[in-house]
A and B are shown apart, each in its own frame.
Chain A
Amino acid sequence: MAEVHVIGQIIGAKGFSESSLFCKWGIHTGGAWKLLSGIREGQTQVDTPQLGDMAYWAHPIDLHFATKGLQGWPRLHLQVWSQDSFGRCQLAGYGFCHVPSSPGTHSIECVTWRPLGGWREQLARAFVGGGPQLLHSDVVYSGADRYRLHTASAGTVYMELNLILRNFGRYGVEC
């Protein structure tokens, strides 16, 4: 019966080699969690930085969960994409972070990575764009099988999340 409000925004991203970035995000929870209101996933606009290299999205996140257990605490997973001048989109990075578990304001820096692929793919990516993407994007937040991946680190996504917890104390979870 405990409830969690996740309110915040995806501020932007920095450190990506590409400009014109946008971000697809989603929140994955375990079976004990139930979304009461809000939208679980979304996509930001494409932002082209004018000053500096930080792309700002200021994309709102507002979710309300009910949970019957701590298992499967919400995980935020991100996919940063870049759009080139022809309007083609290519993957710039995957990232994931747990939604913080203490109430209050949290500023989160979510580092990202992208799959590297073979040298052919890297070469192709450098010249014609595109690139390897995860077939099943749940790999982003589930650790299994990741060891086989070769990845290149990408930029950082900045987020600001406010958490409001309710009734956790009743079940002996102090926060």
Chain B
Amino acid sequence: QEEIFSDEGLTFFITSGEECSDFQTLNQTIDQKLINDSYEKHAALNNLQNHMDMDDEKIMEEVIFPDLLELKSPEYEDDQVRFEKEQEYIFVPSSSPVIHRDKLPKNMMPRILEDEGFYIKKKPETYKRTCNKMENRLLILEEGKCWFEESGEIISLPSPIKQSWNFRKLITIETLNSGLKTIYKKHGKYFFFQKANKSDVESCSRSKIEGQREMYQLDLNISVLQFSHHPLFNQEQVLCSRLLQLYECFQNRQQQNVPHLLYEKLKALTKVARDNMKINQLTKKSLQDYNWQISNTKQLYDLEQKKDISLLHNMLKTWKQIKVLRQQQGFTSTPIRLQFQNLSYLTSEFEETEFEGIQQPTLIPQLSLTTEVTNLYKCSENEQRRRARIQKLKYFIKIFYNDKQVSCTSASPLQLDFKVIFQQIFNIKLINWPETIRLEVYEISKRTSILAKIYLPVPSNTALKSKAVLEQSEFSCDKLVVPECGEVGSNVPFLLDGTGKEELCLLTSGKLSYSLSWALDENGIPLTPMSQSLSSVCHSVLRNVDARGVPGIPWLINTQKLFEWANEVRIDPNDPDYSDLMEFIMYTRHKGQTIPKYFRLEQLQEEFNFVSEEEIKKSKRFQLLQLRNAGQLDVYILQQMPLYDREIPDLVFQEYESQLEKDIQISDVNSITSQRIHSINFMKKMRKLVMKKIIKVNKFNLSDVVTDYEEIVSASQLKHAICKLVERRRNLKPRRRERKKVAAQTISAGDIHLLVRILRAYNIPSRKPVDAVRPFVEVSFQHTVYQTDTANGSHPCWNEEIIVDFTSPGHDYSFSNLSKIKDNIYVNIFDETVIEKHEDHCLKGCSGHSYIRKNWLGSVIFPFSALLQQPKISGTFQVNIPPLLLGYTWSKTYVSPKEDYNGQNLKECTFLNIFATIEPQISSVISNPESDKFTDELDITLLQRAQIFRKNCEAMFPNRRIITTVFNDEGTSILVTRYIRALNPPKQLLDLFLSDSNATLDIIARFVSLIPCLPDTINEDDGFNIWMSPERCINLTIGNKEEHAILLCNYFLYFGKKAWVLLGTSTLEGQVAYVLTQETDEHLLWNPLTGQSYKQFDPFCPLQSADCLFDNENVWFNIQQNSTPMSINFDNSRESSWKQLLPKNVQIQWMKSEAAQPKEILYFETNKSMVEDLKNRIERTLKCKLMEWRPKQPTRWNRQCTAILRQILPKLELGTGSLVSTEEERFPIQLPYTDLQSIINAVYQTGIHSSEFPQTEFALAVYIHAYPNNILSIWIYLASLVRHQ
């Protein structure tokens, strides 16, 4: 077929240009051949369509369409027809209003609830037309009427009448639905109250009573049920019960005896009136009054009399009716009988008076049950049946306590006199406070049915069993009982005494005799809950409160106070008014329990606890873990916590606790010592408080968090970076490689070292007789000592690197923790001397035939924090040499450590060239604290200006220090300039050198340097500077570096000097504050901590960079290229080199006002005896320590030498002393007094104790020079003496 097809295609193409006829035939052939093959046909069709333009339409119609498509005209239906059709299905409700009648059920009047007073919400608005349409539509429906409410409208609102269960209450968010509120119920205590009105009193008693489960007992005695009307009554019985009622009423009246009382009153009144009339004493008015009273009483008396008479009449009448009825029916069914007793009263007394109308009752009715009831067989049939039915009836009573059935009487039969005798006693044991006690009377005839419910009143506390009296409770039942034979039924109208005169409709009713009382236990204590009558307690107490002036209700809550009050007032326990209160008190005393004084939130918690709170608290492991979390544990920081308590030594806690104790224990015998401790603690506390007060917002920049974050600031930097890539490589060009900084977290113990390279020393003093010295250097840190080799001569060169291992407390090498290390690095220079051995008893440490001993020459001390703050410490430093080194003299060959030395006499100084660093370098976190709270009375703009200034400066020279605002001891930030103010130094110091001003300055610098310095750690303050005022600093005798500098500056200002506080960094001490003074031709730099002064061009000035100056007017920031003091110009008026915070012309108000009146500091004299005491104490301690440090050898003390030393020492303080002595080694140590430990450390560092030479004798003298305000300078003279051979 395909072949054929292709042929055809071919022919088709060939013949494409020919006439139609050809084409036609061709098509016909196709048709014939492929007529059955649809695919082919389709293809052909496609072919054909390609040539549609040429195609004849006829062909299309004839050939192709008939079997594919069918042409049809569009269906059309006439609109009218369609509309009619639709009408059959579509219902268009009319919009005309509907008549009310149609919408409502038949014969119903529309009921409009709104008119009845219901609140109806506004109905949603609908168009009347729409509404009508809807109504019409609904009416068409079969059940449509249910859509209309009673008023005939469409139901559009929830019915206001029916409370639908799913009605959603609209609660505003603020007010809690009261239904949701829950009442706290204490677990396990069943005794609670639901009476809402007695809140306070009850809560007190509740708390009092609950806590133990107490059983109480109510005794219920149900004796007799007496019907006053019963459906099975016959007429006689109805009358009979009426008679009984009347009789009861009569008896009641008889008891009250109102007429008699009135009669007596009348008698008395008339007598008085008559007497008065006789004597004529009374005025007319009182007479009238009497008359009026008499007539009044008489009226009342008459009324009562009439009542009595009518009562008697009624009784008589009823009795007659009964008699008639008995005769009529021919039998008696009740044993009742009424008899009248005739009494003749004596009325003779008043018969002659005007009150003759008064009659005394003469008939006394007496009711008895003596009539014989007619025998059953003699009665009529009806009566017989009735009596049979009576006997069938049985009654029982269910007892409900707090709506719960607790018991049930046995069923007792109804007796003929319509009594049901139960005579049963029920003991109800209680835990709950009785709320309701209900009895339900049930009747058993054929079915059991409830007859009545009787609610019994809860008896009072005093209703005890012993006193129990039968009480009666009436009940009635409106059950409809149709009479059958002879009886009257109940709730059914009937005719009394066949005459039809009286129509009655009686309900079943009756009386129940019962008694309800609290039981007594075997001890005679009533089993009564206390709370029951507390309201009455409250009342009775309150009555007395007014009388006795005792505070009101609140103390009722507090039983304790209630007792006290009761004791105080001594209320009569027998007074019935107080019986409740006494009972309450007795009860609580009897129980002797305490009120829980806590409120527990999770009251069930205890039940489920595994362990008690104490045990958790005691757990050592948990304590340790928490301490570690709080960062207070140093030792265990990175160690594994022991799993069990037994593995944890108590030692850990002792350390921690001793730390705490140290803080607490500030009392010391010596006032000076205690003051020092106190002030240190005060500072700590103050700092803590201030830190708390300062609201710090640590905003981390992205660069703080992301390490490799480099902000491309400008295009030039970008260009530079690109240029770097393109740059030609120069392999041989030496390049400085930065030391890699290590993140502190990655460091573990042992990774980190301290490198100290001791290069060389200059001008070491040499021994006196022979100009020779064998110096060596010891580096000690954290009680480990490293030693260099011994060199020779006064200018030795060691060039030795000492690697000091160190451990951080708690093995935490984070920067913050490292900065807590307050240890100093001591570099001590010793002279090694060899002493020939002459005796045989050679001890350890002697090599060969000689003893080696070391003599301390001097030391360089720098704090560990200085190493942390700067990458390295390197340079030549002056060695602290004691002012007097006996046996040593200055070397004759002087070598200057620096070539560019300019003529200063440094011959008497020793220098040491060292280099120290931490390997690897620890990257320090420079926190950028932003305190965006400016709380100061100063105008904010100034502080803001200072902040901006600081930021700008830091942007220019990030390495330079600048402080513009600090926090004072109250936590407010103020400008640093406010600290600078001239202050008077102590008078004694001024008097010392009246003539020499320079010496005065020196002594003042010395005084300041003697104030103990508080080592401030870097991270502790988080970059916040808290400075105390200089006055405060003097009073507390403590201060940090800056405070020292400020104080010194202030003293200098007092002398009229131009002085500034200089902030900078020192190679040895890290960040420091110096004082800059302007002399005539040069600037002097004072180190307030040592009291030393340096000239600007002193090459050994440890100040490395001078960054910032401030005085009381302004703050200057160094913007010169170099910052070393030698190379900068201290002329701060030059704008090009010093940037000012405030423009020159700005004058601030407070500056003037405060400058005008400088404050005077009052210094007080140091207590001499205390100084003496302290001196002795130091001496004693040092002696003990020295012996302690020499455990192997005996320590001998040379008294003579000590005495000499004691004489020498005081002279040294003033720097004027010359000594002649032949002892081998001795030197004074001078230091300010902070505490004993620092002194001991300083002595230990000298190593004097390590002398192993036998027969060494020691001498020790301590001298304290006291400056005012407990500022002390301590001199310790230590000597070790070796006898010359």
Contact = CB atoms under 8 A, between A and B. Distances in A.
Contact of A71 (B608, B611, B616, B628): B608
A34 B604 contact: no
Interface of A: 1-2, 30-32, 34-38, 64, 66-72, 145, 148, 170-171
B520 interface: no
Nearest to B624: A36
Nearest to B171: A148
B58 to A, nearest CB: 64
Interface of B: 171, 173, 176, 601-602, 604-605, 608-613, 615-616, 619, 622, 625-626, 628-629
Contacts, number: 55
25 contacts: A1-B610, A1-B615, A30-B602, A30-B605, A31-B602, A32-B605, A32-B609, A35-B629, A36-B625, A36-B629, A37-B626, A37-B628, A37-B629, A64-B625, A66-B616, A66-B622, A66-B625, A67-B610, A68-B610, A68-B611, A69-B605, A69-B609, A69-B610, A148-B171, A171-B610
Nearest to A149: B173
Contacts of A30: 602, 605
B613 A68 contact: yes
A36 B616 contact: no
Contacts of A71: 602, 604-605, 608
Contact of B616 (A37, A68, A70): A68
Nearest to A172: B610
Contacts of B612: 68
A71 B608 CA distance: 7
Contacts of B619: 1, 66
B1237 to A, nearest CB: 33
Contacts of B626: 36-37
A34 B616 contact: yes
A10 B34 CA distance: 73
Contact of A148 (B173, B602, B604, B613): B173
A37 B430 CA distance: 52
A67 B626 CA distance: 14
A70 to B, nearest CB: 6
A34 B617 CA distance: 10
Given A34-B616, A36-B626, A69-B605, 17 more contacts: A2-B610, A30-B602, A31-B601, A31-B602, A32-B609, A36-B622, A36-B629, A38-B629, A64-B625, A68-B611, A68-B616, A69-B608, A70-B608, A71-B602, A148-B171, A170-B610, A171-B611
A66 B615 CA distance: 12
Nearest to B628: A37
A1 B625 contact: no
A146 B813 CA distance: 49
Contacts of B611: 1, 68, 171
Contacts of B605: 30-32, 69, 71
Nearest to B612: A68
A30 B608 CA distance: 13
A126 B622 CA distance: 50
Contacts of B625: 36-37, 64, 66
A34 B622 contact: yes
A52 B625 CA distance: 42
Contacts of A145: 176
B176 to A, nearest CB: 8
B599 to A, nearest CB: 13
A67 to B, nearest CB: 8
A69 B604 CA distance: 11
Contacts of B628: 37
Contacts of A2: 610
B706 to A, nearest CB: 11
Contacts of A72: 602
Centre residue among B604, B611, B613 by max chain A CB count within 10 A: B611
Contacts of B613: 68
A1 B173 contact: no
Contacts of A69: 605, 608-610
A32 B176 CA distance: 29
A120 to B, nearest CB: 16
Nearest to A166: B643
Contacts of B616: 1, 34, 66, 68
A171 B629 CA distance: 26
A47 B610 CA distance: 43
A36 B629 CA distance: 7
Nearest to B643: A166
Please list the 4 inter-chain residue pairs (A to B) with the smallest Cβ-Cβ separation, ordered nearest first.
A37-B629, A171-B610, A36-B625, A69-B609
Contacts of A170: 610
Contacts of A171: 610-611
B630 to A, nearest CB: 9
